[in-house]
Amino acid sequence: MTKGASVMLSGEHPAVVVKTWPHSVRSVGSARRLLAHHLEAWGLRHLVEAAEVVVSELVTNAVNHARVPRGHLIGTRFERLESGVRIEVHDASERKPEQREASEEAEFGRGLVLVEALTSGQWGVSVREGLGKMVWAVCTKGDGPVDPS
């Protein structure tokens, strides 16, 4: 993954946007804003709400759970698809995220349930070149916000 790489669509907007981020809570909001900007530019405004939740959950998981090895950055890759957007979050940890059921009182543990619902099950974990893993999700035209309860 190359920092700041992009592949251009016809016109001025890249079809693929790649960016690296520090292990920081601030990276979550920055990744969300970058994705929203490109969705608007790609004419996919209707996906912004769902895609922002998805990227927020995936980057938050990387920040909170993928802390080893130290010094490695988190990467995002957003790809404009014919029917929507593919969101990838890369980190250097081999630990794979696990979807679980959270109790009604729990403050955490619903992230992957939201990702599952907002992507109609189009998400997963893949190996990648080098250390770690890639968590990916696809938001398409039929997706929208859901109530996780």
Q: What is the CATH number of the domain that holds 37?
A: 3.30.565.10
pTM of the model: 0.82
Residue 144 to residue 52: CA distance in whole angstroms? 11
Are the CB atoms for 137 and 54 separated by under 8 Å? yes
Ordered per-residue pLDDT tens for the chain, 149 residues: 545 554 444 456 789 999 999 989 999 999 999 999 999 999 999 999 999 999 999 999 999 887 666 667 899 999 999 989 999 999 988 888 776 665 555 455 568 888 999 999 999 999 888 888 999 999 996 555 544 44
Residue 116 to residue 54: CA distance in whole angstroms? 9
Structural domains of the chain, count: 1
- Order of strands across the sheet with 133-140? 6-8, 14-21, 74-80, 84-91, 133-140, 123-127
Residue 21 covered by a domain: yes
Range of 111's domain?
6-140
